[in-house]
Structure 1
């Protein structure tokens, strides 16, 4: 099951804003909330427990599942034990996120808790989940979620992210990751988060929907959470509009499309032919949609088309008229290609994940 999530930080006392934010997100289909207990002042533990319990109850009434970030220090402060998670159960926690594990035995005992709480491990570290599974812990109780990184240049490299995610997915463990709002004056567990809270360094500063659509294009991220608060209404809506079932990509349009071109390009799903070449991805769907359509030539003055250019074959090559193509390597302009536009630079990371046999949607 795919999920969108937000992060809420009750310790700052913005209750009215937090409740309004949760309500908006719920109405848009968000279903996970991340909360963090690592930044709670130890001098205010009892008040924090009461506040978090109230927040979690409100979140549950909106249909949210709530994950609480903890570590060994939090356990000690709250009097929790690896064999007794009742304090978290009383707060209403659904998922206990372990920022750092408790060792093989400790992790095993936590996962086997009698409180019915699922356990989420830090996917950005190698926490030995394969050993837990080999020792018979219930797989349905285990989740994983990557870290977020407040400091510039410290987010995960793409290679590291992919390797760690693939390792977990190969064990049938559900994996989540964070994207970051670009709203002003956002915050996280620590105030004044000026550089956002993404998982991937390459996502920092990019439009939030591009970050999320890139994660979707990887095909193995089940939960996407906004790390900082508060995302704008527009950002929340942009995430709620994302199709989790296939890659979606924007185009910088060169011109206004005619009605036939638009009908072909904006179908829900372009299936990329499995026999695509080194130079082009060809849409199988577009040929079926374009049957019996005329595609008036709209010849571009470009001598060559480059990687990321999107084309529609016109009537100068009638047999293939209406076929949508994405250029993957430089080709000459032969006069039978209508130039639609180019995939922008900050969307090329999504194109990099599209392969022969993929499904793609072009956004208006």
Structure 2
């Protein structure tokens, strides 16, 4: 499942509601929010939680709330009365080490409980079993890390997830957004440090390759262009890449493509392009092919004339290959996820927010 974050450090406004509608239309099914932000006034949370819960119910979304006992009580709520939270639209609670395993087990009988993935030990699992926890409603959620250099390493992440999967937990992790970054650092909210400054879709695709069950955007927003790219992937299974023009033949590469099943090491090869009816292509702009170059084979390549490729790495100039365009810098990371049979689309660069 895919989700995103809405933080309660202020009242929801029209922009927030539009964002919720947009993300719902893009295929996202869950909202994450937090109720223990120290710089905020906990007494305001009740109204904000009601507003967010109402929006979640309207859009048929899961709503996971990260709690601390004190903030919950100040807001007039309690984990002893989860039915009231459910009426507000809350479908799950994220509980940390300060809440006893006995309480966690009791709440799991009534709603989904997510535990801190990094701190779950075998002793906790054994104790939860003793207290008759409903493991069908227990999940392991990793943290996000606002401070640079503090996100998890890939190696430790994989080791922990192996343990969690072995014990039948569904695992969740955060990827960074690229808009409305979280104050006060504005450095992204990833689980993996390697994802901190990556394209959000690149991070999402990487998490999918690691068999993560739930992937949430940690930050408060996605740029319109990024949200569209993610929508095209989630809804159509297609990676959309924007590119700049280098020659007049650039128009020939625009549109939908599919990488060949026999995936090449150095280039992405459009499966259909060479078999389209084309006019003579003369040598032009036969320059060095840097990573992300979009090329068309010219007449010097004989029967290969018209083949469209995207380079996965820097390649030397070839008098038989014309460079007609270039994938924009922001989308270069996505190239590595175009595997055998993957659909992709090349669009001319737009001015996007």
- TM-score, structure 1 normalization: 0.71
2:86 equivalent in structure 1: 89
The reply on whether 1:52 has 2:49 as its aligned counterpart is: yes
Q: CA deviation at 1:334?
A: 3.3
The reply on whether 1:286 has 2:282 as its aligned counterpart is: no
Of 134, 152, 156 in structure 1, the residue corresponding to residue 148 of structure 2 is 152
Q: CA deviation at 1:36?
A: 0.7
1:297 equivalent in structure 2: 282
The reply on whether 1:118 has 2:139 as its aligned counterpart is: no
Count of aligned pairs between the two proteins: 338
1:179 equivalent in structure 2: 176
Is the 2:33–2:65 contact (alpha carbons within 8 Å) kept by the matching residues of 1? yes
The reply on whether 1:318 has 2:302 as its aligned counterpart is: yes
SS in 2 for 1:267: strand
The reply on whether 1:198 has 2:169 as its aligned counterpart is: no
Is the 2:233–2:239 contact (alpha carbons within 8 Å) kept by the matching residues of 1? no
| Cα distance, 1:92–1:29 mapped onto 2, change above 3 Å | same
How far apart in 2 are the matches of 1:323 and 1:99?
55
How far apart in 2 are the matches of 1:268 and 1:139?
44
SS in 2 for 1:257: helix
The reply on whether 1:211 has 2:200 as its aligned counterpart is: yes
Q: CA deviation at 1:155?
A: 2.9
2:342 equivalent in structure 1: 359
| Cα distance, 1:18–1:328 mapped onto 2, change above 3 Å | closer
| Cα distance, 1:39–1:330 mapped onto 2, change above 3 Å | closer
* Structure 2, gaps ≥5 residues long: 348-353
Is the 1:146–1:178 contact (alpha carbons within 8 Å) kept by the matching residues of 2? no
Of 219, 225, 233 in structure 2, the residue corresponding to residue 228 of structure 1 is 219
2:120 equivalent in structure 1: 127
2:247 equivalent in structure 1: 255
The reply on whether 1:64 has 2:61 as its aligned counterpart is: yes
* Structure 1, gaps ≥5 residues long: none
How far apart in 2 are the matches of 1:11 and 1:329?
44
Q: CA deviation at 1:310?
A: 3.5
1:273 equivalent in structure 2: 262
The reply on whether 1:33 has 2:31 as its aligned counterpart is: yes
Q: CA deviation at 1:280?
A: 3.6
Is the 1:286–1:322 contact (alpha carbons within 8 Å) kept by the matching residues of 2? no
How far apart in 1 are the matches of 2:257 and 2:3?
21
Is the 2:179–2:220 contact (alpha carbons within 8 Å) kept by the matching residues of 1? no
SS in 1 for 2:57: helix
SS in 2 for 1:48: helix
